[in-house]
Structures are given as structure tokens and as C-alpha cells.
Structure 1
Amino acid sequence: MSTPTIENGAAAVTAAARGLPTEVKIVGAVVFTFVVVATPREAMWAFALYFSIVAAVCVAARIRLSWLLPRMSIELPFLVLAVLLPFAESGTRVEWLGLSLSVPGLYAAWGIVVKGTLGVLASLILAATTPVQDLPGGLTRLHVPPLITTVVLLMLRYATLLAAEAKSMDIARRSRGDDPRMLHRIGATARGVGSLFVRAYERGERVHWAMLSRGFTGAVPATGSAATRTAWAFGLMPAALAGAVCAAAWGGL
């Protein structure tokens, strides 16, 4: 097979992975995450296969490692908790480099790290392959309650506006000689957060009345066509493979 043919095939796979209907990708990510959580933590080989599935999806969708790694820092608080568990848990203990570690704590830490990392990777893959503006429509086609879909839509729409508002307030404070890094300024910082909350609430109220005046009925309309059976079969393939691995892991216990 010639190199151009291989490249064309890879491009077609990438386009198919990124062009899947939003609802298919949402269901695939959620099912994959639930399968990972349901896998017994003692079956370490199963998690190695899960990482292989994630790596294959990343390659197919051409998601760069340099894009994933900075965004995985969101799980750092959970990693800190995992590091403490081997020291805090009771039960059988083992010695390692002069440290007394709990065996149940080690298993618990392993479970938190590996399952949390896989869950974060699944959500990041969804974010990398799905435009933000397509999420509300996908949720609507999945028959998610209209209130939740509306909240998601407004959150996505106005998160950047609130961030810009917070930045402008911070610049205004600094231009008046305030330094939020100083401990005695913590009161001013707290008042600034409260003021931002009030502004956000007032802005949300104005936006809500404007939407009602333009005929908003409380539901986000589903744009685009529904997913075909082929799209569902292709999009849920990684989740189905993960489900087979999970079943084998439980069968081997």
C-alpha cells in the first residue's frame, strides 16, 4: 500500500472521529468513565488496556500530548489525597524505603490515581473533539432536562465574560495601589469576590428577561441531524472494548 493511501486513510479516520455527532461522543465518554470506575482496582492489566484504548483514540483524533498534559493538572488535588492514603489507612502494612505503608491504602491510592486519570483523559478527549457550541444541542438530543441544558448553555456562553469582568476588577484594584498578595488585603479580596457574584447575578437576570422577551420557552432547540446507527457503532467502539475488558477483569477474580 502506498504512503499517500495510508495518509488518506488516517485523515479519513481523524475526520470521522472529530465529526461524530455530539451526543455519541458524550455517551461514549460517560460510558467509558463508568466502566473504568466499575473495574476492580486489583486488575492492573485492565487499566493498562484502558490506557491503550485512550492512546488509540488520541492518535486517531490527532490530539497532541502537549495539549493534554497541561490540562490534566485539574486532578492534582486528588493526587495529593492519594499520596496521603498509604500513610493514613490501617490494616496490613509493608516496609518500603524505611516507610511503613498500608496495603489497603496503597490499593486505594492506586484506584484514585488510575481511575481519576482515565476519567480526566476521557473528558479532555471529548473537549478536544467537540466544539463548545455543539454541547447544548447534543444534550438536547439525549433528552437531558431542559433546565440543565439551559444552565450548561449559559455557563459556557458567559464564563469568558465573567473572567473578563474579574480581570477588569483586578486591574482597577491594582491601579489604585492594592496588592492582593498581601495578607492584610484579604478583606478587600473577599469583597471583590462578593461584588463579582452580585454583578454576575444581575447580568444573569437581565439576560434571562431579554431571552424571555425574544420568545425563549425554556428549552434549547436541537440543531443538526440525529446520529445514525453507523455513527453510534463507530463512536461507542472504545466504550464497548472497555466494557469487554471490565467483564474479563471481573471474570478473572
Structure 2
Amino acid sequence: MGAGHAHPLYRIGDSVVHRAPAEVKLVCLVVFVFAVVATPREMFWPYALYAVILLGVWRLGDLPLRWILPRMLIEAPFVVLAVLLPFAEGGARVEVAGLSLSVSGLYAAWGIIIKGTLGVAASLTFAATTPARELPLALTRLGVPATVTPIIVMMLRYTDLLSAEIRRMHIARLARGDSPRMMHQAGAIAKGVGALFLRSYERGERVHLAMASRGFTGAIPEMPGVATAARATTAQWVTVATPAMLAVTVAIIAWGTR
């Protein structure tokens, strides 16, 4: 799958977060996100503590805010949706700056924005400190089904390839006089999308057959010097999982004091 491949969100570094075992970081990511999602949206202080935990991890991982924040714009569509909720929800109303807003809608909007922001930030932290080549072995060690592992790995590996192919198709259309902003070109764009889908499907089928013919079953074997990394020790599990455990503690306290 290209051992030297690095996904665009990876930030090269040699921090303690970068060196942490990938399987432990993946478990921490999932636990942290679940803790954030499980926290009551009516409370505010737990989310401030979650942000402090992330800031601490960014400090240890040498991830500057100027690198993280621009990449969090991916959640912008969800923010737009959340802004509409206070106007659309029913129930009790409150006046804010002359506008009549739904109380439940305000809480719903707050929950979507803050939980989505923290989830995206945590995911970016994992992506920025974990090379793509470490993910297959980490998934195998965590017992992820062999059918799922190659799907995830191929998705990561070929996202860049498909993006490059889209750019090439776009340039080819422009070279032939295409104007993507003109409505009458919508048919050509739709045909291009269909052609790209078919090419992607056929490429995936060929890659799968090639891998299967070489004995690939979905599980990533331990191959010294090629696809291997030291297994996480007990001390590493305890140390690396500390931010996730802190998040779980905050969520439990939040429910206890609700």
C-alpha cells in the first residue's frame, strides 16, 4: 500500500505524541470523542476542560494553533446548520438582541458546535501525529475485522490519487474550452463524475485482485523492517491514555453534578 505514503494531514515531527503507538492513540481518540458526545449539552465547564486537554496534547505534540485552526474549517457546514436551529425549534423562547430564539434550539446549536469542534480537533490531532503506514498494523492489533481494515487503508491511500485525477480532469476540460461556472456545462461535469466513479471502482477491483493473488487476507502481518512497530507496553497504555481517561473523568463528574 505504499509504505512511504504520508497523508496530507500528517505533520512531520518527533514529539512524544508522534512516537506513541498508533493503536493506543486510536483508542484514545475514540474514548475521548465518546466522552465529549456523552457530556450533557446544558453544561459548559466540561467542554472548557476538554479544550484544555487538547491544548496540552497539542503542546506535547508540537502542533501550533496556526496549523490546526485552518484545517478545522471542514466543520463549517455543520456550524451553518446549527445556527438555524434556534430559529426553527419550538418550545420556550428567549429574547436575544431583539430576536426570539428557542431555548432548546440554542442548547442544540451549542451541542452541535462544541462537540463537533472538539471531535474534529481530536481527529486532526490523531491524523497530524500518526503516519498512514502505521494505521493498518494498529487496526489489526486492535482486532478490527479483516474486511474493514483494507477498506480504510485503501480509502486513505487513494484519496490523494483521486484528488489528483479530479484536478487533471478539470484542467483537461478547461483546455478544451469548458467553463465550469456555466450552467450548460452541468452535463459534462456529471459525465466526468460518472467516469471518475467507474475508474475508481475498476481500479479498486484490480488492486483487490492483485492483493488477493499475493495472499493478502486483510490482516497486516508483522514484517520486520517493512510494516512493523513495537507493541505498546503497559506503561505506554497508561501514559498515552491519560488524556482520554481525564476526559472520561470529566464526563462522569458532569453527569454526577448535573
Partner of 2:48 in structure 1? 48
2:50–2:247 CA contact under 8 A, matched in 1: yes
In the other structure, the counterpart of 1:158 is 158
Residue of structure 2 in register with 1:221 after alignment: 221
For 1:44-193, what aligned pairs fall within 5 Å after superposition?
44-193=44-193
Count of aligned residue pairs for this structure pair: 240
Equivalent pair of 1:150/1:220 in contact (CA under 8 Å): no
Asked whether the 8 Å contact 1:21–1:227 carries over to 2, the reply is yes
Structure 2: runs of 5 or more not aligned: 1-13, 223-227
- Residues 18 and 61 in structure 1, CA contact (< 8 A), matched pair in contact too: yes
**1:4-19 equivalent positions in 2, closer than 5 A:** 15-19=15-19
**Quick check: 1:79–1:112 contact (8 Å CA) kept in 2?**
yes
Q: CA deviation at 1:215?
A: 2.3
For 1:65-100, what per-residue CA distance to the aligned partner results, in whole angstroms no more than 9, with x for missing partners? 111111101111110111001000111101111100
Indicate which of 245, 248, 252 corresponds to 2:250: 245
Task: Tell me the CA shift for residue 141 of structure 1.
Answer: 0.6
* CA distance in structure 2 between the partners assigned to 1:58 and 1:144 by the alignment: 28
Amino acid at match of 1:241: L
Write the distance in 2 (CA, Å) between the matches of 1:161 and 1:65: 28
**Deviation digits for residues 208-230 of structure 1, max 9, x if unmatched?**
22222222233232532321111
Name the TM-score, length of structure 2 as normaliser.
0.90
**In percent, how many aligned pairs have the same letter?**
59
The answer to whether the 8 Å contact 2:149/2:218 transfers is no
Report deviation, 1:153.
1.3
> Structure 1 or 2: larger helix share?
1
Specify the alignment match of 1:38 in structure 2.
38
Q: SS in structure 1 opposite 2:90?
A: coil
Tell me the distance in 2 between the aligned counterparts of 1:215 and 1:243: 41
Matched, 1:231 2:236: yes
CA distance in 1, matches of 2:17, 2:192: 43
Q: RMSD of the TM alignment (CA)?
A: 1.2
How many Å apart are 1:164 and its aligned residue?
1.6
Tell me the distance in 2 between the aligned counterparts of 1:62 and 1:102.
41
Give the distance between the partners of 1:15 and 1:168, measured in 2 at CA: 37
Structure 1 alignment gaps of length 5 or more: 1-13
Question: Partners in 1 of 2:90 and 2:146 — Cα distance?
Answer: 46
Equivalent-residue separation in structure 2 for 1:81 and 1:170 (angstroms)? 30
2:139 maps to a residue whose letter is: L
- Kept in 1: contact 2:79–2:112 (CA 8 A): yes
